[in-house]
Structure 1
Amino acid sequence: MGASVAVGGVVAVTTVAGSERTVQDEIHTAVVRAEINGEPREIAVDTRTSLLDMLRERAGLPGTKKACDHGACGACTVLVDGRRINSCLTLAVMHEGAQITTIEGLAGSGGRLHPLQQAFIDEDAFQCGYCTAGQIMSGVGCIAEGHAGSPAEIREWMSGNICRCGAYTNIVKAVATVARDR
């Protein structure tokens, strides 16, 4: 009497009369309305979904990388209302009405690369490429925030983005080049 068993997010409840019924457990969904890469989007998500997982799994934008999932590496960096954030550390539902830019949204019309994307190619600022999207997004934010006045300043303000391959010197050159030519 009153017993229940939970399996895979569904609860089977035995009622007093002995019949069994299935009900959804306490998983709640919400619709996040945001402008993603310049397009208005409405995406239904579980309220516990990170912005990173919403972008990759629900919005179909796999360019933002999932690495540490703890905010320690910067691979998941995106711009929200023009500011850099680690998308693995924030819930998607917290960004209702926001303007979100991912690496897929940087290219100009006709597929022309963003100046920092081109600078990464020109300066050979990546090796394996896993951190590249986060590095570029952080670099775009760093320049927009006015923190790209010197190589030392760039290194300091991009210190939350890790490159395990060690391409830091060329990453800083790429950011400095775009900041100078801006």
Structure 2
Amino acid sequence: MHRVHTQTDSPCGTLTLVATDGLLSGLYLPRHRHRPPEETFGARDERPFGAALDQLGAYFAGELTTFDVPLHQEGTSFQRTVWDALVAIPYGETRSYGQLAAALGKPGASRAVGLANGRNPVSIIVPCHRVVGANGSLTGYAGGVETKKALLAFERGRTRTPGSGSLGEDTLFALS
């Protein structure tokens, strides 16, 4: 496997994108909880990331609601099934871990769904931020709960356009 990476600024901070054999295999936020060691990212090379960078720019400009970047996601069969289900959650909406488990035909597996969700290697594009607790609470997020809160608020249109400032707590967090 041949891996390369690049970095780009975003309203969420500097994002690290990783490609494996030319396909996006990682999108890591600055404080990503399950971020692999940087030495596994390969050399810096922007060439395989044109579509991902363009689509992220359009997303943060409020012009894109669905990504179609080809992915190479490494994980167990169950994890990949959960990650595929995340992509089906519409922009601006949320699902609970239990709802996601039920949709996968495994209604008792909400905890396993949560663990798989937390291991999603392609944040934002595979929208794990759209999964919440059963009561709507903003439970953990690999990039931090404040970032999750900001992304949900942005998608719901309750915040300034991310390009107009940071997605930090100083510019938003008016979830009501």
Query: What TM-score, normalized by structure 2, do the two folds share?
Result: 0.27
Query: What TM-score, normalized by structure 1, do the two folds share?
Result: 0.26
Determine which structure has greater relative contact order: mean sequence separation of CA pairs < 8 Å that are 6+ residues apart, divided by chain length: 2
Larger-gyration structure (1/2): 1
